[in-house]
C-alpha cells in the first residue's frame, strides 16, 4: 500500500497545480473541502446545462440511431457486393485464361491456314490456268499463266523446305500433294512449251516475208513475250536453242538480202569520179575533148578536188540515201559508202539491243550469227570496188567515215562492229598507198613528149597536183585536229596501228619533190632562161592559189611560196636586163669596185651615154615591162605583184646609179641635167601599178 501511495504521490507531484499548492504550504484538508465544493458547483451547472439541452440531445440520439441503422444496411449491401465481386473476379480470370487460350489457338490456326493456303496456291492448278495453257492463244494473259505455272513447277521441285515456311519442315517434293501435282504441272509445261514454240516459229516466219517491218514485229510480237523465251530456256533448252537458231537463220537471210539489194541499187547511183587514167600526170589526150585539140578544163582536176565531197563527213549521221527517191541522181562512192554504213549501224544497233533483251546472255553470239553473212557481203562489195578504185579522195573520206562510225558505235555502247571497221581500214589504207604510189610514179616517169606542148601558162598537171595535194592536206589536217579532241582516242589508235597519217605525210613530201623536179624538167622545153622562169612562176602560182583557196595549212603553202618568190626575184632581174642591161651592169660593177677603191674615177662619156639612153627610153621601157608581164602571167594578181617588184627594182637600180654619179663627180657634169627625177619615175610607175 505504501508503495502504491508513494507512486501516486510521486505522479501527482508532477502536476503543476498540486505542486504549487504543496509549495505554498496550504492545508490540504481545507483545500480538499474547497475543491469538493467547487466540484459540486460545477456538477450542478453541468446538470442544468444538460437538462436545458435534453431535447436536442434526444433528437441527436435519434438521428444517430437512424444513421447507425442506415450504415448497418449499407454494410450488409457492401458485403453482398463484395461477395458478388469476388465471384465476378473469378469468372473474369477464367474468361481471360480462356481468351488467351483461344488467341493462341487462333494464331496457330491462322498460321497453319496461311501456310496451307500458301502451299495450296503453289501446288494446286486452277481450272482457268489449265484451260488457258491447253487451249488459249499466246497473249499477255497466257504469258501470266505460264509464269504462274513455272513458279508452281519451281516450288514442287524443291528438295528442301521452302524458305517462306509454306511446306513447314518438309520439302515440297516430298509431300504427297507435291508428288501428285508435279506430274500434272510437267504435262502443262510441255503443252506451254509446244504452244510457245509454235508461236515463235510462226512469228519468225513473218520476218522472212518481203517488205516486212522487222522492227515492229520484234517489238510487238517478240519482245512483248520475252518471258516466254526465258521460260523455254528453263523448261526446254533444246527448244529454246531451236527457236534461237531459226531466228538467227531467218534474220541472217533477211538482213543479207536487204543489204544485197540495197547495195545493188546504190551501185547504179555511183558517179564513178575517177578511173585508172586519173593520175596527176596523164597523157595530154586523156584531158582533151574527143572532137577538139584543146584541153577540157573540166577534166583537169575533178578526180582530185575535195570540193563539196567533204560534206559527207558533216552529214554522216543523217538518214541514208533512199534509193527509190534518188534514182535520177548520181553520187560519189563515199556517199554510197556512208549510206550503207549508216544503214548497217542503225540496223546492227537495233538488232543488238533486241538480242540483249530477248536472248539475254547469248546476245553477242547471236548477233554475229545474224550479221556474219551481211558483213562478209559488205566487205566483198568493198573489195570489188577497191579493185578498180583510183580515187584517193574517196578512200581518205571513207577512212574518216570509218573512224567516225567506230566512235558512234562506242557512244551507243554497241562496239559490235569493231572487227568490221578494222577490216575496212585494212582494205582502205593499202589501196590508198597504192594510189599514192601510182601518182608518184606518174610524176617520176612523165616526159614532155607524153604531156604535150609546154607553154608559158600553167600546165594542167599543176592544177591536178594542187587539187590532189590540197584535198589530202585538208583531210589530214582534220584527222590531226580530231585526234586532239576528247573522245577521239579511237582515231589516233587506228591511225597508229595502220601508220596512216605518217604514211600520208611521207608520200606528200615525195609527191612534192617529184612535182618540183618535173616542173623543172618541163621548163627546160623553153629556149630562154626567162621563159623557163615564167613557166615555173605560173605553175607555182597556180599551185599556191589552189592551196590558198582550199585553206590549206599555212606552213604547207609557205613551202611553195618560198620557191615562187625565188623565181619572181630571178624574173625581175631577167626582165630588167632585157631593157636596162648596160645600166644594171654599170651599177653592179661600179659598186663592187667602189668597195675596194674609194677614189674610183668614172668615165664621163660612159656615164653620159647611160644617162641619155635612160632619159630617152625609160617610159617606153616601163610600158614594155608592163606589156611583157601582162602577157606572161595569166593570173592578174600574180602579174601585178611581179610588175610591182620589177618596177620597184628598176627604181632602186636608177637610184643607186644616181648615187654613184654623185660620189664619182665632185662637180655635177653637164649631162646631169638630163637625169630623170625619182618623182617622175614614181609618177609613171603609178600609172601601171597603183599600189606602189
| Residue 124 pLDDT > 90 | no
| Residue 4, Cβ density class (10 Å: 0-12 exposed, 13-18 middle, ≥19 buried) | exposed
**What single string gives the DSSP state of each residue in 175-241?**
SHHHHHHHHHHHHHHHHHHHHHHHHHHHHHHHHTSTT--HHHHIIIIIGGGHHHHHHHHHH-HHHHH
| Residue 490 pLDDT > 50 | no
Residue 260 is predicted with a pLDDT of: 92
Q: Which three cell numbers stand for residue 125?
A: 492448278
Residue 432 is predicted with a pLDDT of: 92
pLDDT in tens, 460-482: 888 999 999 888 888 888 777 65
Residue 167 confidence class, pLDDT cut points 50, 70, 90: low
What integer is the mean pLDDT of 437-458?
86
Residues 232, 239: contact at Cβ < 8 Å? yes
Q: Which three cell numbers stand for residue 385?
A: 570496188
| Side-chain half-sphere exposure of 658, counting CA atoms within 13 A | 14
Residue 5 is predicted with a pLDDT of: 58
Contacts of residue 182, defined as CB under 8 A and 6 or more positions apart, other chains included, come to: 153, 156, 157, 173
Residues 574, 531: contact at Cβ < 8 Å? no
pLDDT in tens, 569-612: 998 888 888 888 888 888 888 888 877 766 677 888 888 888 88
Cβ contacts of 676-682, under 8 Å, gap ≥ 24? 676/614, 676/615, 676/618, 678/651, 678/654, 681/618, 681/650, 681/651, 681/654, 682/651
Residues 321, 330: contact at Cβ < 8 Å? no
Residue 168 is predicted with a pLDDT of: 62
**What single string gives the DSSP state of each residue in 581-644?**
HHHHHHHHHHHHHHTT-TTPPP-HHHHHHHHHHHHHHHHHHHHHHHHHHHHH-S-HHHHHHHHH
For 294, list phi and psi in degrees, rounded to 5.
-90, 150
pLDDT in tens, 24-81: 666 767 777 877 888 888 888 888 777 777 778 788 888 888 888 888 888 888 887 8
Tell how far CA 275 is from the center of its chain.
38
For the chain, percent of residues with pLDDT exceeding 90:
23
As a whole number of angstroms, the distance between CA 116 and CA 32 comes to: 106
| Residue 397 pLDDT > 90 | yes
Residue 164 is predicted with a pLDDT of: 63
Residue 293 is predicted with a pLDDT of: 47
Least confident of 128-137, 298-307, 559-568: 298-307
CA 507-508-510 angle, to 5 degrees, is: 65
User: Comparing C-alpha atoms, which of 539, 515, 510, 541 is closest to residue 526?
Assistant: 539
Residue 475 is predicted with a pLDDT of: 87
| Residue 9 pLDDT > 70 | no
Residue 143 is predicted with a pLDDT of: 87
pLDDT in tens, 511-532: 999 999 989 988 888 888 989 9
Tell how far CA 415 is from the center of its chain.
13
Amino acid at each position: 500500500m505504501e508503495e502504491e501511495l508513494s507512486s501516486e504521490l510521486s505522479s501527482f507531484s508532477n502536476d503543476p497545480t498540486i505542486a504549487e499548492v504543496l509549495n505554498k504550504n496550504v492545508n490540504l484538508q481545507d483545500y480538499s473541502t474547497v475543491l469538493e465544493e467547487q466540484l459540486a458547483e460545477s456538477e450542478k451547472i453541468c446538470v442544468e446545462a444538460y437538462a436545458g439541452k435534453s431535447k436536442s440531445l434526444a433528437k441527436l440520439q435519434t438521428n444517430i440511431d437512424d444513421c447507425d441503422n442506415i450504415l448497418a444496411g449499407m454494410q450488409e449491401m457492401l458485403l453482398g457486393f463484395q461477395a458478388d465481386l469476388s465471384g465476378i473476379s473469378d469468372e473474369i480470370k477464367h474468361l481471360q485464361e480462356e481468351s488467351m487460350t483461344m488467341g493462341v489457338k487462333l494464331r496457330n490456326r491462322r498460321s497453319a491456314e496461311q501456310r496451307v493456303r500458301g502451299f495450296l496456291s503453289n501446288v494446286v492448278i486452277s481450272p482457268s490456268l489449265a484451260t488457258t495453257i491447253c487451249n488459249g492463244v499466246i497473249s499477255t494473259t497466257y504469258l501470266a499463266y505460264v509464269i504462274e505455272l513455272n513458279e508452281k513447277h519451281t516450288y514442287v521441285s524443291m528438295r528442301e523446305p521452302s524458305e517462306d515456311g509454306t511446306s513447314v519442315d518438309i520439302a515440297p517434293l516430298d509431300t504427297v500433294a507435291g508428288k501428285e501435282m508435279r506430274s500434272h504441272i510437267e504435262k502443262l509445261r510441255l503443252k506451254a512449251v509446244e504452244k510457245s514454240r509454235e508461236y515463235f516459229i510462226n512469228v519468225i516466219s513473218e520476218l522472212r516475208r518481203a517488205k516486212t517491218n522487222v522492227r515492229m514485229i520484234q517489238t510487238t510480237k517478240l519482245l512483248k513475250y520475252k518471258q516466254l523465251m526465258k521460260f523455254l530456256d528453263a523448261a526446254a533448252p533444246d527448244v529454246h536453242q531451236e527457236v534461237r537458231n531459226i531466228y538467227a537463220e531467218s534474220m541472217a537471210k533477211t538482213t543479207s538480202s536487204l543489204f544485197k539489194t540495197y547495195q545493188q541499187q546504190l551501185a547504179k547511183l555511183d558517179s564513178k569520179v575517177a578511173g585508172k587514167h586519173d593520175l596527176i600526170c596523164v597523157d595530154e589526150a586523156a584531158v582533151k575533148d574527143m572532137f577538139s585539140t584543146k584541153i577540157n578544163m573540166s577534166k583537169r582536176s575533178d578526180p582530185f578536188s575535195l570540193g563539196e565531197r567533204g560534206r559527207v563527213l558533216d552529214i554522216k549521221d543523217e538518214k541514208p540515201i533512199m534509193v527509190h527517191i534518188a534514182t535520177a541522181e548520181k553520187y560519189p562512192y563515199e556517199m554510197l559508202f556512208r549510206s550503207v554504213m549508216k544503214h548497217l549501224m542503225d540496223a546492227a544497233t537495233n538488232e543488238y539491243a533486241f538480242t540483249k533483251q530477248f536472248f539475254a546472255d547469248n546476245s553477242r553470239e547471236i548477233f554475229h550469227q545474224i550479221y556474219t553473212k551481211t558483213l562478209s557481203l559488205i566487205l566483198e562489195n568493198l573489195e570489188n570496188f577497191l579493185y578498180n578504185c583510183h580515187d584517193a579522195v574517196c578512200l581518205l573520206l571513207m577512212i574518216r567515215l570509218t573512224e567516225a562510225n567506230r566512235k558512234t558505235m562506242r557512244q551507243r555502247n554497241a562496239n559490235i562492229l569493231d572487227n568490221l571497221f578494222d577490216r575496212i581500214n585494212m582494205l582502205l589504207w593499202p589501196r590508198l598507198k597504192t594510189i599514192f604510189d601510182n601518182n608518184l610514179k606518174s610524176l617520176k616517169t612523165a616526159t614532155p613528149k607524153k604531156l604535150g606542148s609546154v607553154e608559158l601558162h600553167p600546165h594542167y598537171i599543176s592544177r591536178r597536183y594542187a587539187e590532189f595535194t590540197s584535198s589530202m592536206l585538208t583531210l589530214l589536217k582534220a584527222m590531226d585536229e580530231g585526234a586532239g579532241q576528247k573522245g577521239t582516242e579511237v582515231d589516233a589508235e587506228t591511225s597508229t596501228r595502220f601508220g596512216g597519217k605518217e604514211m600520208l605525210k611521207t608520200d606528200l613530201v615525195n609527191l612534192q619533190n617529184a612535182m618540183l623536179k618535173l616542173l623543172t624538167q618541163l621548163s627546160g622545153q623553153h629556149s630562154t632562161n626567162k621563159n623557163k622562169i615564167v613557166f615555173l612562176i605560173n605553175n607555182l602560182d597556180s599551185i599556191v592559189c589552189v592551196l590558198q583557196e582550199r585553206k590549206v595549212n599555212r606552213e604547207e603553202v609557205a613551202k611553195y611560196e618560198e620557191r615562187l618568190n625565188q623565181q619572181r626575184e630571178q624574173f625581175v632581174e631577167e626582165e630588167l636586163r632585157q631593157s636596162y642591161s648596160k645600166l644594171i651592169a654599170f651599177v653592179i660593177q661600179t659598186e663592187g669596185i667602189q668597195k675596194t677603191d674609194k677614189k674610183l674615177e668614172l668615165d664621163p662619156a660612159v656615164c653620159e651615154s647611160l644617162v641619155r639612153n635612160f632619159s630617152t627610153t625609160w617610159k617606153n621601157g616601163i610600158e614594155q615591162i608592163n606589156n611583157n608581164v601582162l602577157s606572161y602571167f595569166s593570173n592578174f594578181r600574180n602579174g601585178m605583184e611581179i610588175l610591182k617588184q620589177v618596177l620597184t627594182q628598176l627604181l632602186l637600180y636608177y637610184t643607186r646609179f644616181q648615187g654613184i654619179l654623185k660620189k664619182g663627180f665632185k662637180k655635177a657634169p653637164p649631162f646631169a641635167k638630163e637625169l630623170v627625177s625619182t618623182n617622175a619615175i614614181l609618177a609613171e610607175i603609178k600609172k601601171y601599178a597603183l599600189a606602189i
